[in-house]
């Protein structure tokens, strides 16, 4: 079983996404955060919504997940942010090792 995962979340704009990504990385909760502008269609409070958002793909360890989730919840502007963990079932060993180093082997602290 893999010790690695990718967490996805969305934010309302690039400024919010960049601030969140910097906080995540500065707290060693992930090794990498990638951003992409997207258009989301979803049902919220019974109504169809169409919004521009920024998708964050966060590469981390399963050991960091609970602290990462709490950190996103604390700093996210949405009432109910998307936070989804996807297991990484394989990958280049050197890349996965870099995730370990960047996250302090899961011993990260939040601030």
Sequence-separated (6 or more) residues with CB below 8 Å from residue 54: 10, 11, 12, 13, 14, 16, 17, 35, 36, 37, 38
Q: Which domains does the chain have, with CATH numbers?
A: 4-106 (3.30.70.120)
For the chain, what is the mean pLDDT? 93
> Number of helices (H) and strands (E), helices first, in the chain?
3, 4
Report whether pLDDT(108) > 50. no
Residue 105: its pLDDT value, please? 55
Average pLDDT over residues 46-59: 98
In terms of Cα–Cα distance, which of 70, 40, 68 is closest to 55? Answer: 40
Reported as a single tens digit per residue, the pLDDT across 29-42 is 999 999 999 999 99
Q: Give the Cα separation of 72 and 89 in Å (integer).
A: 24
Residue 22 has pLDDT above 70, yes or no: yes
User: Could you tell me the pTM of the whole model?
Assistant: 0.90
Residue 87, beta-bridge partner list? 5
């Amino acid at each position: 079983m893999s010790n690695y995962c990718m967490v996805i979340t969305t934010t309302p704009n690039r400024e919010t996404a960049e601030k969140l990504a910097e906080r995540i990385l500065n707290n060693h909760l992930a090794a990498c955060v990638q951003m992409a502008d997207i258009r989301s269609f979803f049902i919220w409070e019974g109504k169809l919504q169409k919004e521009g958002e920024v998708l964050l793909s966060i590469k981390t360890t399963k050991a960091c997940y609970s602290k990462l989730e709490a950190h996103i919840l604390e700093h996210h502007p949405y009432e109910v942010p998307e936070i989804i963990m996807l297991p990484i079932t394989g990958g280049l060993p050197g890349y996965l090792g870099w995730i370990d180093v960047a996250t302090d082997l899961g011993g990260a602290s939040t601030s």
